Every structure is written in C-alpha cells, then in structure tokens.
C-alpha cells in the first residue's frame, strides 16, 4: 500500500500515465497484442473442433497445448515490448533537453527513473490482464488451475521487470534513444540466445572430448556436460518460463529437462529449485540495473552533496 501511495504521488508516473492514456499508441498496442493472441487461440480451437467432426473424439490435450502456445507467445511479446517502452525513457528526456530541468526540481533522480519504469510496467500489466480472457479459454476443458495462472503471472512480472530494467539502464547511460534501444535488445538477445548458445557450445565441446577418450579403469565413456556454464541460464528468462510451463503441462522434472538439453549435472539445491531461484536471481539483477540507472542519472553535484551530507552525519557528535 505504501508503494502504491508513493507511485500515485510520483509526478513523473502520473504524467506518463496521462500522456499514455491520451495517445492512440496505447490503443494500437492493446489491439495488436490481443488481436494476435485471439487469432492464434481461435485458430487452434477451430482446428480442434474440425478434428472432433472428423474423428468424433475430443482430445483434451489440444486445449492444454493451446494454453502453452498462447502463454509462450505472450511471453515472447512481453519480453520484446518492455525494452521498447523503457529504452527511450531517460534518453528521450535528454534529446528533448528536459532532463536537466527535471533534475533542478525537488524530484530526486530515483523518482524520475522509478516513475518512468513504473509507467511502462503499468502498461505491461494492462496488456497481461487484458489477455486473461484468451488464456482462460482453457478453463472450459480443465487442466490448468488458478495457481498455475498465478505462477504464469509471476513469470510475466519477472520478465517484464528484467527487460524493463535493461531498457531503462541503457536509456540512462546513453544520450540517444536509438543507441539505447539497440543495446537493450542486444542484451535481451544475449540473455536468451547467448547463455543458451554458450551451454550448447560447452556441451558439444565436452561431447567431442569424451568421444575420443575412454576411461582407463572401467572402459566406460564419461557423460558429457556443459559444466558450470549451466548456471548462466539462471539469468535466462526464456529458460525460466520453459521450466515453469513444462511443470504446468505435466513434466515436473526440471533437472531432467536440463539434463536432456545440456548433459548430466550433479543434483543440488539450485537444480531442484530452478524456477524459484532463477526468478529471484533475475529480480535481483533488475534491482541492480535500476540502481545503476539511478546512479547514472544523478548529477555530479548531487553526488557531491550526498557525500558531504554523509560525512557531516558521521562526524556529528553523539
């Protein structure tokens, strides 16, 4: 409740919401976002009904596949929409030469950054909530519970927070929105494809090494593995979503899924609680990026004043 009250009092947040609600951009994003999801969902249902007409059998797994496919499509769109909403947040103010004016007011740099990020996050939340009628089509035939929808919502919030934090970080680092936008998308692609590719490369190298090496004692080939690079995937939101959606679809063995993809790894606490730990790691990374963005926006004279305040406070007699 304190956070909600703080955001309501944040002038940047209120301004961004007013500007966004008056723009046709929001309506177009909502229409395109839900239009794509609805088209995919109804096409899937149409094909399922046509199959019923031909075989006189209802395959309930088709509707679970509908949920997985629509949820995955929504996840991908959210992951790439959030950087577009935040990568021009601070750099856009620099291009309009209004950032220095904002910093001369009573607003703190943290309020500017959080206000911009919260406005984009509110847009994301509106997109997610507006898509629930499409996702709830699976409730007609069962297979997905309210708890599963809550887990899906948590995964959406995590990827939106991480990708939004990446966008606002580069927006605070660069003066041009184009450069910030490119860097944000390159980072997102690296988190998704780069960490996956690094594990595939390590796994292939391990396979090549083991294929030409036999154990001298028992003559059994060692198992190939991507090694410690598997933990890079904790920063990969796509792997987190894949593990979560597999659990909801019936495959609860996350460690087994990772083993099939990247070789055998010793069982430990991280692999047993992969989804929860990866979400915590990504939220922590987002918090650090936001803190770095606030530090980048803070003027030099403001940093000097804060340091002087800290020195005066420490030197004050008790």
pLDDT bin (cut points 50, 70, 90) of residue 74 is: confident
Per-residue pLDDT tens for 202-245? 888 777 776 665 544 444 445 667 778 888 999 999 989 988 88
Residue 301 has pLDDT above 60, yes or no: no
Give me the pLDDT at residue 217, please.
Answer: 44
Q: Which position has the higher pLDDT, 46 or 302?
A: 46
Query: How many other C-beta atoms lie within 10 A of the C-beta of residue 35?
Result: 10
Q: What is the end-to-end Cα distance of the chain in Å, rounded?
A: 35
Tokens at 104, concatenated: 């001369």
Give me the pLDDT at residue 182, please.
Answer: 94
Determine the average pLDDT of the residues in 73-85: 88
Give me the pLDDT at residue 219, please.
Answer: 47
The mean pLDDT value of the chain amounts to: 80
Counting every residue written for the chain, the total comes to 318
**Which percentage of the chain shows pLDDT scores above 70?**
81
Q: Report whether 164 contacts 82 (CB < 8 A).
A: yes
Give me the pLDDT at residue 172, please.
Answer: 93
Give the whole-angstrom CA distance, residue 190 versus residue 81.
16
Give the whole-angstrom CA distance, residue 315 versus residue 318.
9
Tokens at 136, concatenated: 């709830």
Determine the average pLDDT of the residues in 109-116: 88
Give me the pLDDT at residue 192, please.
Answer: 92
CA distances from residue 92 to 7, 95, 257 in whole angstroms, order as listed: 21, 5, 43
Q: Which residues, 6+ apart, have CB-to-CB distance to 318 below 8 Å?
A: none
pLDDT bin (cut points 50, 70, 90) of residue 280 is: very high
Determine the average pLDDT of the residues in 121-142: 80
Tokens at 58, concatenated: 């209802």
Tell me, yes or no, if the pTM score tops 0.85.
no
Q: Three-state secondary structure along the chain?
A: CHHHHHHHHCHHHHHHHHHHHHCHHHHHHHHHHHHHHHHHHHHHHHHHHHHHHHHCCCCCHHHHHHHHHHHHHHHHHHHHHHHHHHCCHHHHHHHCCCHHHHHCCCCCHHHHHHHHHHHHHHHHHHHHHHHHHHHHHHHHCCCCCHHHHHHHHHHHHHHHHHHHHHHHHHHHHCCCHHHHHHHHHHHHHHHHHHHHHHHHHHHHHHHHHHHCCCCCCCCCCCCCECHHHHHHHHHCHHHHHHHHHHHHCCCCCHHHHHHHHHECCCCCHHHHCHHHHHHHHHHHHHHHHHHHHHHHHCCHHHHHHHHHHHHHHHHCCC
Give the whole-angstrom CA distance, residue 73 versus residue 127.
13
Determine the average pLDDT of the residues in 37-51: 79
- The CA dihedral of 174, 233, 80, 10, to the nearest 10 degrees, is -60
Give me the pLDDT at residue 6, please.
Answer: 54
Residue 276 has pLDDT above 50, yes or no: yes
Give me the pLDDT at residue 193, please.
Answer: 92
Determine the average pLDDT of the residues in 116-136: 85
Q: Which position has the higher pLDDT, 157 or 214?
A: 157
- How distant is the alpha carbon of residue 215 from its chain centre? 43
Where is average pLDDT lowest: 20-29, 188-197, 252-261? 252-261
């Amino acid at each position: 409740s304190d956070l909600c009250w703080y955001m309501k009092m944040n002038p940047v947040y209120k301004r961004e919401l007013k500007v966004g609600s008056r723009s046709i951009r929001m309506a177009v994003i909502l229409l395109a976002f839900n239009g794509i999801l609805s088209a995919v969902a109804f096409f899937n249902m149409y094909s399922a009904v046509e199959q019923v007409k031909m075989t006189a059998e209802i395959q309930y797994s088709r509707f679970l596949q509908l949920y997985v496919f629509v949820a995955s499509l929504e996840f991908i769109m959210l992951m790439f929409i959030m950087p577009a909403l935040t990568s021009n947040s601070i750099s856009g103010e620099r291009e309009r030469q209004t950032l220095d004016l904002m910093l001369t007011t009573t607003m703190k740099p943290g309020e500017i950054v959080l206000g911009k990020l919260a406005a984009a996050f509110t847009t994301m939340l509106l997109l997610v909530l507006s898509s629930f009628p499409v996702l709830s089509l699976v409730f007609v035939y069962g297979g997905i519970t309210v708890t599963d929808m809550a887990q899906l919502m948590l995964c959406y919030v995590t990827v939106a927070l991480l990708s939004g934090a990446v966008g606002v970080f580069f927006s605070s680092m660069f003066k041009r929105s184009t450069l910030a936008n490119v860097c944000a998308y390159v980072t997102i692609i690296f988190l998704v494809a780069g960490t996956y590719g690094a594990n595939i490369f390590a796994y292939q190298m391990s396979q090549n090494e083991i294929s030409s090496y036999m154990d001298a004692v028992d003559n059994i080939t060692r198992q190939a593995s991507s090694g410690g690079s598997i933990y890079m995937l904790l920063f990969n939101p796509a792997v987190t979503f894949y593990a979560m959606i597999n659990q909801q679809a019936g495959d609860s063995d996350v460690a087994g899924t990772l083993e099939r993809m990247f070789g055998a790894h010793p069982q430990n606490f991280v692999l047993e609680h992969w989804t929860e730990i990866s979400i915590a790691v990504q939220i922590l990374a987002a918090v650090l990026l936001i803190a770095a963005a606030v530090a980048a926006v803070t003027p030099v004279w403001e940093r000097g004043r804060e340091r002087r305040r800290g020195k005066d406070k420490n030197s004050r007699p008790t």
